[in-house]
């Protein structure tokens, strides 16, 4: 998980004023928390994971903070939560997931109630699913997959994604929905997006297991059809005709066997970006998959493909390169809107003892980073013999969640809908305070930010396994 705390908010309640820290996860606003809420999380992590050494947590202050001290606290909290998000054990803690799920609920003022939401397959098939508004992503995925009879053992080969349909018919994958967020709330934050089911793995050898089941095979087939139609999978005229004949006959297995051997299968294609390789300000198409990050650039009338192996990326970072004011002033321009507000830079081993930084400017820079991290995680899990389903074991522990108004609520983490809204209505903030806070929080929903100073980077643990044969 990628955390940042770009700014703060001042609030006034019946008990006095307080500062809220706006927390962004994986590039979008997630919640606004007080210092004492994060401190309470820190104390619970210490108790639940006593063998781990936690990052340093900014100390308490007895007197009111000066503006400079408040900024130092913001930086300290950001550093703390970034280190927690990068730790392989802490980031997978169910306590952390439950805490941020409840924090999202509190910050969005969402009541826990049953609703029906639409979840789609890549061919547009709609699955109307009854969920609770505060249920986490895996639980919502489980309910949707139950309605299409997907066996539970194949559930975690898939994930929920938010996608946006462009005017030209293309789709843009906006984000992968994680278990620290509610699909219902996250979809409301990103306008004009649909929730879809797509594969959540990168190694196409997992296809062989899924193809043993009729429903899982059908999901693979539907996604393959969509990717071929949108030219994410590269075909020739002859192969496309062969695939069309197989589609007409309903031969799904043979269709998948063919497309699995084609370039682009199992990959995600991103919107046009600007890169500094091989030359500065070069337009490029980014494709991630098959343990590689590919740049497609124009070289005269030819398309030049440059492949960067994920195992040779030593580290990467994501930064903002425009302020919100600059983005607003440029919003009237129709040329490449929102294209350069984020950039991802990665340090690549070009040759033995030669490291070079490559920079990609893209609206989807954070999603590119998330994809890189998931490929690295998959490689490390395979090396350790960890199965896909083992990453989703739910711990049966207790969380004590302190709300911004100071009230305390104990939550059993294994419960899908036991959240802070089960408190009595009398415990909620007064209407004036809630209205003021809701207005401030709402303004943050559409803002995209990342590491503020650009100095923090994600270290690639798979880079350690590189050998002379890789060079």
Instruction: Identify whether the C-beta of residue 458 lies closer than 8 Å to the C-beta of residue 315.
Output: yes
Residues 168 and 115 in one domain: yes
Task: Pull the structure tokens for residue 214.
Answer: 């009729």
3-state secondary structure of 87: coil
Q: For residue 407, what pLDDT is reported?
A: 78
Report the alpha-carbon distance of residue 458 to residue 52 in Å, rounded.
Answer: 20
Which of these, 343, 383, 385, lies nearest to 366 by C-alpha position? 343
Which portions of the chain are predicted below pLDDT 50?
A: 322-340, 393-395, 413-416, 422-435, 437-455
Instruction: Identify whether the C-beta of residue 440 lies closer than 8 Å to the C-beta of residue 447.
Output: no
Q: What percent of the chain has pLDDT over 70?
A: 82
Residues 183 and 211 in one domain: no
Instruction: Identify whether the C-beta of residue 340 lies closer than 8 Å to the C-beta of residue 327.
Output: no
Residues 369 and 248 in one domain: no
Q: Is 213 a domain residue?
A: yes
Q: Is 426 a domain residue?
A: no
**Strand ranges (E), 133-281:** 158-165, 171-176, 193-199, 268-275
For residue 246, the enclosing domain spans 202-266
Among 166, 200, 234, give the residue marking a domain's end.
Answer: 200
Report the alpha-carbon distance of residue 452 to residue 164 in Å, rounded.
Answer: 27
Phi-psi region at 54: left, alpha or beta (left = phi > 0; alpha = psi -120 to 50): beta
Instruction: Identify whether the C-beta of residue 258 lies closer than 8 Å to the C-beta of residue 245.
Output: no
Residues 315 and 459 in one domain: yes
Burial of 18 per CB tally in 10 Å (0-12, 13-18, 19+): middle
3-state secondary structure of 284: strand
Q: Is 147 a domain residue?
A: yes
Among 148, 180, 200, give the residue marking a domain's end.
Answer: 200
Instruction: Identify whether the C-beta of residue 376 lies closer than 8 Å to the C-beta of residue 466.
Output: no
Q: Is 292 a domain residue?
A: yes
Residues 296 and 369 in one domain: yes
Residues 260 and 310 in one domain: no
Which of these, 225, 224, 137, 231, lies nearest to 181 by C-alpha position? 137
Residues 38 and 94 in one domain: yes
Q: Model pTM?
A: 0.84
Q: For residue 332, what pLDDT is reported?
A: 38
Which CATH number does the domain housing residue 32 bear?
Answer: 3.30.1520.10
Which CATH number does the domain housing residue 377 bear?
Answer: 2.30.29.30
Distance of CA 445 to the CA centre of its chain: 15
Residues 276 and 262 in one domain: no
3-state secondary structure of 15: coil
Please identify which residue in the block is written with the tokens 């929903």. 445
**Phi–psi pair at 57, nearest 5 degrees:** -100, 135
Which CATH number does the domain housing residue 227 bear?
Answer: 1.20.80.60
Burial of 348 per CB tally in 10 Å (0-12, 13-18, 19+): buried
Q: For residue 11, what pLDDT is reported?
A: 83
Q: Is 261 a domain residue?
A: yes
Task: Pull the structure tokens for residue 154.
Answer: 């194949």
Which CATH number does the domain housing residue 138 bear?
Answer: 3.10.20.90
Task: Pull the structure tokens for residue 259.
Answer: 């497309």
Instruction: Identify whether the C-beta of residue 24 lies closer than 8 Å to the C-beta of residue 12.
Output: no
3-13 and 28-33 as β-strands: parallel, antiparallel, unpaired? Answer: unpaired
Which of these, 136, 138, 180, 134, lies nearest to 41 by C-alpha position? 180
Q: For residue 392, what pLDDT is reported?
A: 56
Residues 356 and 208 in one domain: no
Q: Is 428 a domain residue?
A: no
Report the alpha-carbon distance of residue 290 to residue 28 in Å, rounded.
Answer: 27
What's the structural domain count of the chain? 4
Q: For residue 371, what pLDDT is reported?
A: 94
Among 200, 227, 256, give the residue marking a domain's end.
Answer: 200
Residues 185 and 234 in one domain: no
Report the alpha-carbon distance of residue 279 to residue 162 in Å, rounded.
Answer: 33
The string of pLDDT tens digits covering residues 137-158 is 999 999 999 999 999 999 999 9
Q: For residue 412, what pLDDT is reported?
A: 54
Q: For residue 443, what pLDDT is reported?
A: 46
Q: Is 419 a domain residue?
A: no
Q: Is 150 a domain residue?
A: yes
Residues 209 and 194 in one domain: no
Residues 58 and 149 in one domain: no
């Amino acid at each position: 998980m990628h955390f940042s705390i770009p700014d703060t908010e001042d609030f006034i309640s019946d008990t006095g004023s307080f500062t809220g820290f706006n927390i962004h996860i994986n590039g979008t606003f997630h919640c606004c928390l007080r210092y004492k809420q994060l401190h309470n999380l820190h104390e619970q992590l210490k108790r639940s994971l006593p063998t781990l050494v936690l990052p340093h947590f900014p100390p308490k202050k007895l007197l009111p903070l000066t503006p400079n001290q408040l900024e130092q606290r913001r930086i300290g909290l950001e550093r703390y939560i970034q280190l927690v998000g990068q730790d392989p054990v802490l980031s997978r803690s169910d306590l952390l997931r439950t805490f941020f799920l409840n924090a999202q609920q509190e910050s969005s003022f969402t009541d826990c109630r049953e609703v029906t939401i639409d979840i789609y397959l890549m061919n547009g098939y709609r699955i109307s699913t009854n969920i609770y508004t505060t249920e986490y992503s895996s639980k919502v995925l489980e309910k949707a997959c139950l309605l299409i009879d997907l066996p539970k053992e194949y559930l975690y080969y898939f994930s929920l994604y938010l996608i946006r349909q462009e005017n030209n018919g293309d789709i843009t994958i906006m984000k992968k929905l994680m278990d620290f967020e509610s699909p219902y709330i996250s979809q409301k934050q990103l306008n004009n997006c649909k929730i879809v089911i797509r594969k959540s793995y990168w190694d196409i050898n997992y296809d062989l297991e899924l193809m043993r089941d009729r429903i899982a095979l059908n999901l693979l087939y539907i996604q393959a059809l969509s990717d071929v139609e949108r030219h994410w999978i590269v075909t020739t005229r002859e192969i496309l005709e062969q695939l069309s004949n197989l589609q007409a006959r309903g031969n799904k297995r043979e269709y998948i066997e063919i497309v699995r051997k084609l370039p682009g299968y199992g990959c995600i294609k991103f919107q046009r970006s600007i890169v500094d390789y091989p030359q500065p300000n070069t337009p490029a198409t980014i494709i991630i998959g098959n343990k590689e990050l590919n740049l497609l650039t124009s070289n005269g009338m030819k398309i030049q493909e440059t492949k960067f192996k994920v195992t040779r990326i030593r580290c990467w970072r994501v930064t903002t390169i425009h302020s919100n004011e600059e983005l607003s002033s440029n919003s009237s321009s129709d040329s490449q809107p929102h294209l350069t507000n984020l950039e991802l830079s990665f340090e690549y081993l070009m040759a033995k003892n030669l490291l070079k930084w490559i920079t990609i400017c893209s609206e989807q820079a954070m999603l590119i980073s998330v994809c890189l991290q998931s490929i690295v995680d998959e490689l490390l899990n395979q090396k350790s013999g960890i199965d896909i389903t083992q990453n989703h074991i739910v711990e049966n522990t207790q969380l004590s969640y302190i709300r911004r108004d100071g009230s305390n609520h104990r939550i059993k983490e294994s419960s899908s809908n036991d959240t802070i809204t089960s408190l009595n209505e009398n415990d909620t903030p007064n209407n004036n305070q809630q209205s003021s806070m809701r207005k401030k929080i709402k303004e943050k929903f559409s803002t995209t930010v990342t590491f503020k100073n650009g100095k923090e980077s994600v270290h690639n643990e798979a880079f350690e396994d590189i050998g002379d044969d890789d060079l």
